[in-house]
Amino acid sequence: MKKIYVICATLIIGAVACQKTEIKPTDRSKLEGVSSFEESQVNKYKKEIVVYDESNKNNVMLALHSDDMEEINKFINTYDIVVNTSFSLDNSSNGIDEDRIPNGDSQFNEGDNLEPKLTIELVSQNIESNEKYFSLNFKSKAGTKLIIPKAPVGFMVKGGNAIGVVHRGQGYINRVKYRYKKHFASLWKDYYAGNVNAWHIHPGAYSYYNYWDYSIPDPHKVNMLVYQDYRQNYINYEVFYSLNSGYSQQCALGTYNTNNYGECYYGSVPEGSSPFIYNYGGAEGTWFLYTPINNTCPWLPEAESGFDTQNCKVVKIPSDRVGKAYTWQRDLLTKSYSFSEL
């Protein structure tokens, strides 16, 4: 399979803050209008910060909301928020000690407030067009005493922006919950997964979530709540944002291949044959095929598979994956659905 190479970047932070007022950055040309966003005052207090990468070509603006200004100041004084455009979803939860994943929810304080005291909203992003996604990382400032919120931290985005959380692979598990607003004037609703309105134990085998469901394809806003195990003494997750060109784990054909981001594996043709893609035209459509062996087709996985007098037909490629299907060695592959397609 193809491999994805990740180049790590060291990032610096430029921050500008305000309380209940509009941000006034030094270089307004880069950030014109970013503070003109709906629901800019989610809670009583707000502080805005702008985070740049080392090239100063990429930046994001965040608004920290709370009804307690001390919650905002405490978080800002404890953590540097770092944007990482070289983030990879392949950095999953592998390596977490099993003894740090006890049965049940006993690792979370029953008396904790499960409503967020702090919400971090992605106001605007100015990311180069060749980037597909980025993450927010939380690093403790030198000499500060780490503070882990006893309530979830909320991460809010506008509808159409993909958001998820990825465990760094160290420490205890987290719980994750999603809320959404269908329209500007709507009340927040909890997201249901499998008809269950509940916190999701996190991470799983591959540690990220997305909020899409076909019944709510275009929410106005989404708020992801991340609640940490009370024994965890540092933030052990990154928050993932897609730029509408990343790919989910949902496949139109085959099964998602966890070794490669955005790749669905259908199957491998028999040894001694060569796979290829062919468009028969019209309603017949585009198919995966392979060259026969001794004029026979030993692998016919579908009811409609068969010999077309010259080659072996395997499976018809869905119309929305035509152009996104390909072969590698003997493997038949397609791209999974991009976030913007869900």
Q: Decide which of 15 and 47 is more confident.
A: 47
State the amino acid at position 135 in one-letter form: S
pTM > 0.85: no
Please give the pLDDT value at position 200.
65
Q: Decide which of 222 and 270 is more confident.
A: 270
Q: Cα(134)–Cα(194) distance, rounded to whole angstroms? A: 28
- Judge whether residue 296 has pLDDT over 90: yes
- Judge whether residue 38 has pLDDT over 70: no
C-beta of residue 148 within 8 angstroms of C-beta of residue 78: no
Task: For the chain, give the percent of residues with pLDDT over 90.
Answer: 31
What are the φ and ψ backbone dihedral angles of 321, each rounded to 5 degrees? -110, -5
DSSP states of 210-236: ----TTSSS-SEEEEEEEE-TT--S--
Model confidence band, residue 56 (pLDDT cutoffs 50, 70, 90): confident
40-49 burial: b if 16+ Cβ within 10 Å, else e: eebbebbbbb
Mean pLDDT value of segment 106-119: 70
Name the average pLDDT for the chain: 74
- Judge whether residue 317 has pLDDT over 80: yes
Q: Which two tokens stand for residue 115?
A: 């409503």
Q: Cα(49)–Cα(67) distance, rounded to whole angstroms? A: 18
Q: What sign does the dihedral 239-146-204-219 (CA atoms) show? A: negative
Phi-psi region of 245 (alpha: psi -120 to 50; beta: other; left: phi over 0): alpha
Q: How many residues are there in the chain?
A: 342
Model confidence band, residue 313 (pLDDT cutoffs 50, 70, 90): very high
> Tens digit of pLDDT for each residue in 248-289?
777 899 998 766 656 899 999 999 999 999 999 999 999 999
Q: What are the residue boundaries of the structural domains of the chain, listed by start?
A: 28-242, 255-341
